[in-house]
Amino acid sequence: MDEVLINKYSTYFKIRVNTKNGIILNSSSIPIRKFVRNKLAEYWYDDKLKTFVPKYYYLDYDMETGTIKIPVNLITKFTQYVLFHGGKYKIISEKPNESDLMNIKFKTDKFNDRDNQTSVIEFFTNNKNPMRALRLQTGIGKTYCAIKAATILNKKTLVVVPGFLTNQWIKEIKDKTYIKDDEIVFIQGSKSIISIINNSDLIKRAKIYVASSKTLIQYISKTFDVYNSIIPFEEFIKILKIGTKILDECHLHFHINTIIDLNCNIENNLYLSASYVRSNKSGNRIFNNVFPEYIKYNNKRYQKYVKIVECQYDIGFIHPMATKTKRGYSQIKYEKYLCRNTLKLEYLYKKVFYKLIENYFISVKKPKQKLLIFINTRDIGYKLCNIIKKEYPNLVVSVYFNDTKDVVLEKSDIIISTTGSCGVGKDIKDLKTVLLFSSFISESLCYQTLGRLRRLKDDTPIFVFMQNTNIEGHMHHLYARRMLYKTLCKEYETIKL
């Protein structure tokens, strides 16, 4: 029997199958479909079909050549699959793309590594595995460590982030290094890609590229016709001479990030996240296969510096259908219900929000300190903003959404935002208190929202999470969240309003 040829790259491996019957080449009769269904498909429940169906496939398939790219850390599971079916295999290790030196100095004269950062930077820089995943609680300095590591690795660098974090990364890079303005290039939208391809001087001059993950996936999948008229994405990455890739908040848009990895062959790949957990069961299984424990840095000593307050509140009967969908509890439906019932919303503010704001922010805050309130919909955000503005005319009260300028975070005393806009990656200086009105059970989102609070000098930040005792979904969430939060706090308090 011939051997199945496996070409191994930095972040993926490549095999070929018969395009007509899906049989792995050189294996006589081993089908690829079963491996894909069991190891590479993420299943979601379909309400119409009343069963679980594949939603995402974590592979890249070329229908013309029969080439399949699979995340590299599943290579052991794939070889076991081949052996189980009586086949043989041969692994051929391929070299990463050629890269150029970066030669950008870190501002060591202005910034010193903290003790808990030194080992992280060493993990990133003294590690032969091309994939290095950092699991570290927010506030320790993942961005700082990644930037410092990139300067030590000294290879041209590509930073891949969700679009709402691009400006923050550019600001941090300029703040922490001696990079010149024309040495950092922003990639967002097809025009930015075309301008890079057509400017060889820019490519030679550039040291760091900060790219929106949405733009890169559109390029790879050729979402727009313009991408059919330029060089393929893999060729684009090669001409940039990238030697280090940083992927921030890698748990977000996990499928997109994986497809990007399947189309890059970069020497050093640094992944950042506070939590390597996903709420979808089959998605979490794939996530753990892509990011196995042996590639992770994990500081298990969680630093407890936050006071957590469990707030159980009662604003009267709410019909179960006002907060439920076929899939269960819906925070969005709950907030829409409150927006339709103005009297109920006003009662909620007077009985609950006002007391929490007074007791856990107004009465304890120091000059310049801020309050962040998490909600799920813009409508309730605007309504709460108007109510709080009238209550506190001397404070700057603002809403912050994805299309809001970051200057709002700097100038506001009270910020009302969604978990999608401000729950991940946004650093708010002098944040004293977080009020979490949104109710959910996602462990990763619990970590992320709590992580908005950073250490305060000679002070204790406060995190208040709110649960309506008349809503079944809230009480279900409460028991799970309580168990988690009690392991993460400096002090835990329960109140009933």
Element (DSSP H or E) covering residue 190? helix 190-197
Inform me whether the pLDDT recorded for 308 exceeds 60: yes
Q: Which residues contact 260 (CB under 8 A, 6 or more apart)?
A: 160, 213, 216, 217, 220, 247
Per the model's pLDDT, the better-predicted residue between 125 and 279 turns out to be 125
**Which CATH code fits 307-496?**
3.40.50.300
The Cα 148–Cα 134 span in angstroms is: 14
Contacts of residue 39, defined as CB under 8 A and 6 or more positions apart, other chains included, come to 74, 77, 78, 286, 289
- What is the identity of the amino acid at 186? F
The answer to whether residue 451 scores a pLDDT higher than 80 is yes
Helices (H), 281-422: 281-290, 331-340, 342-348, 354-357, 378-391, 407-411, 419-422
Of 247, 327, 364, 259, the C-alpha closest to 295 is 247
CA distance 125 to 207: 18
Report pLDDT digits (tens) over 332-382: 999 999 999 999 999 999 999 999 999 999 999 999 999 999 999 999 999
The ranges assigned to domains in the chain are: 3-93, 115-298, 307-496
Neighbours of 132 (CB within 10 A): 20
Q: What are phi and psi of 465, to 5 degrees?
A: -110, 135
- Tell me, what's the pLDDT at 445? 85
Average confidence score pLDDT of the chain: 92
For range 437-442, the mean pLDDT:
91
Proportion of the chain above pLDDT 90, given as a percent: 74
Nearest CA-CA partner of 421 in 406, 442, 411: 406
Same fold, 115-298 and 307-496: yes
Q: How confident is the model at residue 165 (pLDDT cuts 50, 70, 90)?
A: confident
DSSP-derived secondary structure letter, 349: I
pLDDT of residue 455: 87
Residue with tokens 């202005």: 110
The dotted CATH code for 115-298 is 3.40.50.300
